[in-house]
Every structure is written in structure tokens, then in C-alpha cells.
């Protein structure tokens, strides 16, 4: 058995700690604990002087474990780990005890209680320190090639941005043509840019870039691996293609709801905004009266979200039609107008000035579409009005693509309650999936307009470039390990529960076993707490270490 020699350093933090509890007493107490061979008070443990004191003591007293009782590990754990490493002690032989935020600062009124609690905390920390294991950082190489799934505006923007940074890109598009939804559109709000010009420019740059390899009429068939090293099979119709890449960007866009059975939809004189856009592209529209109905199949019980882009689409197209045919009456029947942003508001105002008439309807008493007219209850006037028209346009929401589920299973990434892809964190990681090395942009995530899709694509590229540019990923070794292969029965419960897809059930000579993908593991501990064969060990938070801490809570 190795000789465990623990050194304990108790920090005054100036008066932050020493002002509210008796540090010398805590130091004296620490000396009485098992395995502790040295204990010392520091004025500021994290200062140059403090660090030197720690390093010198490690050498002088041949310490093999170090405990610092001071502030929060959030800020200073790396500092102290480094000090240990420099003094020849493995950085994971270090344990930090928080006696500032968790003790002196919250028990300022009671010096004695605070001192006692600090003693308890130190005892618990020492109990764990005695059982710590040495660990090495895990470093994996990152394959500098990227895969982009989806060749709409988001995917094309991402592929081009990556190639401009010098990275090789494989772009996979399901349809025969690149371009996505923009192929169907006429002009784009807010600036009236021609969709074909915008997307045409992108397609031209992507297809002429030597760094971008494009596969159209192709889909993803199989995905294996983890950040830095994904192995992907692509089905191209002819021969399957295999791609090894470091990161994956998902830009598969959204579908648009087809309003079957709603408002007598027929695709001839009662059409969707998408169909209107196609007619506008060709430029042949004749009508004396046009009625647009908003929120068709959106914000209902079944689909309770707002698709965000349809109101501006209606404002845009109503204005365009009014401009072309000033004598045509154009009505927009709405629940709420979603015209966010300065430009959106301005266009909405302009449409009203041009003579587009906006009528608010009550979802409980929706408009009724007849042969040559639409009836709607006008809430302000308090009576029903009948609008004569020869064209009805239904604004329907973006909905998740049909194959979103299949793709989410292949990539092992989650979807939200509406079926769109779900990011890792709304605020902190909006363009990442929880799984490292897979990113998300455009309307695959949530109804987004073109500008939003472009900026998300650039954002996703900048996130992905961190790994691609570094060429390697270094991860904390505080991860799960399959400690005892013989104990594992390959039952797969851990793999099913791991939120990061960091466990694969693999075939080994000893049968099916859990294969831990350390670089993908975040050390959450779910698998360790689940395996009933106790085959899995959580590095740095082993059962033995935590049990020892629990025992130390009572064991004075």
C-alpha cells in the first residue's frame, strides 16, 4: 500500500475567511486527522506566495495528496492543480474544500459555529483525499474535415464559411438541387432581395469551391463515433460514400404544413403562401380581391407555437400584390401580427399605408371561406363582414421535416416537444447539441427567416471551428470508466440512459459489453448510478470516495 501523506492548507483569504472563523484552530484540528502529516495557514493560498508555500511544503514533507480549504473550485481549482503538478504530484491528487462561500460568508454572525463547520468540511475533504486516484488528461485528435447535412441557405452558408477558413467540407443534400426552401420563393423580406439571386450566388460559390464536396440526392445512412472522429455512411443513390469527419452541422430546414381539409384548401384558388410565392416568381397573377388568412393550423391545440415568419411573409406578399395591382383589394385576416424588429414594423406600417386591410379575427370564431367570398366576424365593428375575392391565401406554419425523427436517432440528438431539433441550452449553447461536435442552425431548429438562418449558420461554424482549428480536444478525465469488464453483462441500461450517447454496447471476445467513449462523456454519473453490477466507476467521484465522505460527516 502506498504511503498516503496529506498536506492541508487553510486559507485566510485576507479577512474573508479569517475574519469570521478561527483559522489556526482549523489548522490544528486538521493535523489530528488520519493521514495528515502537515497543515498550514496561508494568508492567500492562491497568491504567488501561497502557491510557493504549497509547492515547497509538498517537497519538504514528501506530500502525496493536497487539500486546500479556501474558496470555490470554480475559479481556483485549476490554479492549485497546476501547483501540484509542478511540484511533482498528480493534479488529481488534489481536493478543494470550500470554507468561504459555503462557510465564512454565510455564517458571519457565529464565529464558533463557523469554525466547527469548517472543521467538518475539512474532515470530509481529507477523507476523500486519502482515496483519490491519479488521472491523466484525455487528448484525442480531431479530424479537420466537416460534414454539413442540408443544402439550404443555412447549410450552404455554413459550408462556404468553413471552406473560407480552409477546412474541407462534405455537403449532403437530400434533393436533386441545392437551395432548399429559397428555390420556391420570389422576393425576400425585409429588403426585397430576389431569393434566386441570393441562393444562386451561394450555390455558385459552393459548387466552385475545391474544398467543398457535394452529394445531392443523398442521405445519411449511418453515423458512428464521437467529437473529432465521426464515421458517416452516405447513401447517394449510386454507390455509398464513407466520410470521416471531426464535426457535423445539421441544417436540414423545415417543411411547411399542407392545410388539407382547412378552409376548403384546393391548391387552385385557395392556396398556401408557398404556392403564391411560386406564382409570383412566374409573375402571372390576376385577381380583383385577395384574402390572406394567418395562423392556419398554427397556434392550435395540436401545434401551439407561432411559426414567426408567416406574418412577415403575408405583409411582404400583400404589399407586392398591391404594388402590382393597386386596384385589387387585399385583406389579411390575423389573430396577432408578429412583425418583430425595426424593419418588420416599418414594412407592416407601409403595407397599411398602401391600402392593405388588416382584420383581426377570433380563433373561436374563425373566418369561413365560401366560393367567391370569405366571411369574417369583425371584432371592432361587432358584426360579420363578407369580403368578395377570387383568391384565398393560407399562411401555414413551418413544421419539422418528416425524417427529423430518423435523423435524430442516427445522430443521437434530441428533439423538442414539437419535433424540431433541440439545442443544448437555450441561452448558453444555442447552436450546439448536447453531444460534443454536433451543431445546429437554420429552420431545422425552429422557424427562422433567412437572415436568422444565415447568422445561426455562421455562429455554428464559429463553434465548430474551435475544435477544427485546435486539431485536438483535451478533456478532463473525470469521466466514467468500465472498471470491471467481467461484471458488465452488456445489458445496455447505461447506454440507454446516457444523455450524451457516450456509451456503445460493443461485441468483445467476452460477449456484449459497455464501451465507454471517454471523450464524449461529461461525467454526469447517470450510468454509474444505474449499473446494478457495479461495473462502472466514476473517476474522481468513486463510490468509495463518496461513501468515505458520508461516513466522515458523522465520524468525528
Partner 1 sequence: MILDAFLCGIDGVLILGCKDGECHYVTGNMEAKNKIDMTSRLLRIIGIDQNRIYFGQLSSAEGNRFVELAENFTKRIKEIGPLGTEIKEDKEGLKFRLEAVKAAVEGEKLRWVIGKKTEFMGIGNKYGEIFTRHEMDRLLDGLIMDEVAVREMQLLLQERPLSVKQISERLKIPSNRVLRYIAGLRRKGVVGLERVDGTSPLYGLQE
Binding site for partner 1 (CB under 8 A): 414, 424, 434, 491, 493, 496-497, 499-500, 522, 524-526, 529-532, 534, 543, 546-547, 550-551, 553-555
Which does residue 502 touch among ligand FAD, partner 1, ligand SF4, none (CB within 5 to 8 A, set by kind)? ligand SF4
CA distances from 514 to 36, 70, 229, 510, 555 (A): 38, 39, 19, 11, 37
**546 scored as a contact of ligand SF4 (CB under 6 A):** no
| Binding-site size, ligand SF4 (CB under 6 A) | 27
Pairing of strands 247-250, 438-440: parallel
**319 scored as a contact of ligand FAD (CB under 6 A):** no
Beta carbon of residue 292, minimum distance to partner 1 (angstroms, whole number): 36
**148 scored as a contact of ligand FAD (CB under 6 A):** no
x/- map, 471-510, ligand SF4, by CB under 6 A: --------xx-------xxxxxxx---x-x-xx-------
Report d(CA 94, CA 429) in Å as an integer. 30
The correct pick among 46, 195, 351, 526 for binding ligand SF4 (CB under 6 A) is 526
Strand residues in 336-429 grouped as ranges (E):
357-360, 368-369, 373-378, 383-388, 391-394, 398-399
Report d(CA 226, CA 245) in Å as an integer. 10
The correct pick among 7, 91, 155, 246 for binding ligand FAD (CB under 6 A) is 155
Burial 43-53 (b: 16+ CB within 10 A, else e): eebbeeebbeb
CA distances from 405 to 81, 252, 304, 443, 537 (A): 44, 12, 20, 15, 33
Helix (H) or strand (E) holding 196: helix 195-208
The three-class DSSP label of residue 497 is helix
Which does residue 175 touch among ligand SF4, ligand FAD, partner 1, none (CB within 5 to 8 A, set by kind)? ligand FAD
What is the residue whose three cell numbers read 479577512? 15
Residues ≥6 apart with Cβ < 8 Å to 351: 315, 318, 319, 322, 358
Using CB under 6 A, which of the segments 135-143, 176-184, 225-233, 476-484 binds ligand FAD?
176-184
Using CB under 6 A, which of the segments 46-54, 102-110, 135-143, 182-190 binds ligand FAD?
182-190
Which does residue 529 touch among partner 1, ligand SF4, ligand FAD, none (CB within 5 to 8 A, set by kind)? partner 1
Burial 344-365 (b: 16+ CB within 10 A, else e): beebbeebeeeebebbbbeeee
**Interacting residue ranges for ligand SF4, rule: CB under 6 A:** 479-480, 488-494, 498, 500, 502-503, 514, 516, 521-527, 530-531, 533, 535-536
**Interacting residue ranges for ligand FAD, rule: CB under 6 A:** 149-155, 172-175, 180-182, 185, 188-189, 219, 251-254, 256, 273-274, 277, 309, 313, 316, 401, 403, 407, 442-444, 448-451, 453
Amino acid at each position: 500500500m502506498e504511503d498516503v501523506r496529506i498536506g492541508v492548507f487553510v486559507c485566510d483569504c485576507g479577512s474573508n475567511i479569517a475574519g469570521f472563523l478561527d483559522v489556526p484552530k482549523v489548522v490544528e484540528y486538521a493535523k489530528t486527522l488520519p493521514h495528515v502529516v502537515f497543515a498550514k495557514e496561508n494568508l492567500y493560498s492562491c497568491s504567488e506566495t501561497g502557491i510557493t508555500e504549497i509547492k515547497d511544503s509538498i517537497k519538504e514533507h514528501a506530500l502525496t495528496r493536497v487539500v486546500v480549504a479556501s474558496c470555490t473550485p470554480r475559479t481556483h481549482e485549476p490554479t492549485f492543480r497546476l501547483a501540484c503538478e509542478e511540484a511533482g504530484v498528480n493534479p488529481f491528487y488534489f481536493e478543494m474544500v470550500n470554507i468561504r462561500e459555503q462557510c465564512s460568508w454565510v455564517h458571519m454572525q457565529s464565529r464558533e459555529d463557523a469554525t466547527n463547520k469548517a472543521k467538518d468540511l475539512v474532515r470530509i475533504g481529507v477523507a476523500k483525499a486519502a482515496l483519490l486516484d491519479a488521472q491523466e488528461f484525455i487528448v484525442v485528435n480531431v479530424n479537420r474535415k466537416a460534414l454539413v447535412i442540408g443544402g439550404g441557405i443555412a447549410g450552404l452558408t455554413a459550408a462556404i464559411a468553413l471552406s473560407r477558413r480552409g477546412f474541407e467540407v462534405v455537403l449532403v443534400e437530400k434533393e436533386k438541387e441545392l437551395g432548399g426552401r429559397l428555390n420556391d420563393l420570389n422576393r425576400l423580406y425585409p429588403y426585397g432581395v430576389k431569393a434566386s439571386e441570393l441562393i444562386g450566388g451561394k450555390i455558385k460559390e459552393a459548387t466552385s469551391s475545391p474544398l467543398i464536396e457535394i452529394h445531392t440526392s443523398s442521405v445519411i445512412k449511418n453515423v458512428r463515433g464521437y467529437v473529432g472522429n465521426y464515421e458517416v455512411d452516405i447513401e447517394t443513390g449510386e454507390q455509398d460514400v464513407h466520410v470521416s469527419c471531426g464535426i457535423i452541422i445539421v441544417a436540414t430546414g423545415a417543411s411547411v404544413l399542407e392545410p388539407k381539409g382547412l378552409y376548403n384548401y384546393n391548391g387552385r384558388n385557395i392556396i398556401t403562401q408557398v404556392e403564391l410565392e411560386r406564382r409570383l416568381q412566374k409573375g402571372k397573377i390576376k385577381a380583383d380581391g385577395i384574402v390572406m388568412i394567418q395562423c392556419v393550423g398554427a397556434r392550435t391545440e395540436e401545434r401551439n407555437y407561432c411559426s414567426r415568419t408567416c406574418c412577415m411573409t403575408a405583409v411582404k406578399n400583400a404589399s407586392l400584390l398591391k404594388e402590382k395591382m393597386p386596384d385589387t383589394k387585399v385583406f389579411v385576416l390575423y389573430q396577432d401580427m408578429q412583425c418583430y424588429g425595426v424593419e418588420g414594423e416599418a414594412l407592416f406600417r407601409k403595407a397599411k399605408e398602401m391600402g392593405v386591410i388588416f382584420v383581426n379575427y377570433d380563433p373561436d370564431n374563425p373566418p369561413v371561406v365560401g366560393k367567391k367570398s370569405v366571411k369574417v366576424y369583425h371584432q371592432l365593428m361587432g358584426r360579420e363582414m363578407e369580403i368578395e375575392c377570387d383568391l384565398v391565401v393560407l399562411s401555414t406554419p413551418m413544421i419539422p421535416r418528416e425524417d427529423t425523427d430518423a435523423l435524430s436517432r442516427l445522430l443521437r440528438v434530441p428533439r423538442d416537444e414539437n419535433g424540431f431539433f433541440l439545442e443544448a441550452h437555450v441561452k448558453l449553447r444555442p447552436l450546439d447539441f448536447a453531444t460534443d461536435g454536433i451543431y445546429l442552425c437554420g429552420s431545422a431548429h425552429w422557424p427562422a427567416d433567412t437572415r436568422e438562418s444565415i447568422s445561426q449558420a455562421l455562429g455554428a461554424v464559429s463553434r465548430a471551428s474551435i475544435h477544427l482549428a485546435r486539431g485536438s480536444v483535451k478533456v478532463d478525465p473525470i469521466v466514467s470508466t468500465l472498471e470491471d469488464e467481467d461484471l458488465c453483462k452488456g445489458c445496455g441500461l447505461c447506454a440507454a440512459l446516457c444523455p450524451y450517447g457516450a456509451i456503445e454496447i460493443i461485441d468483445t471476445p467476452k460477449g456484449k459489453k459497455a464501451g465507454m467513449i471517454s471523450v464524449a462523456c461529461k461525467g454526469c454519473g447517470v450510468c454509474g448510478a444505474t449499473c446494478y453490477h457495479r461495473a462502472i466507476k466514476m473517476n474522481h467521484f468513486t463510490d468509495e470516495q463518496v461513501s468515505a465522505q458520508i461516513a466522515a460527516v458523522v465520524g468525528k
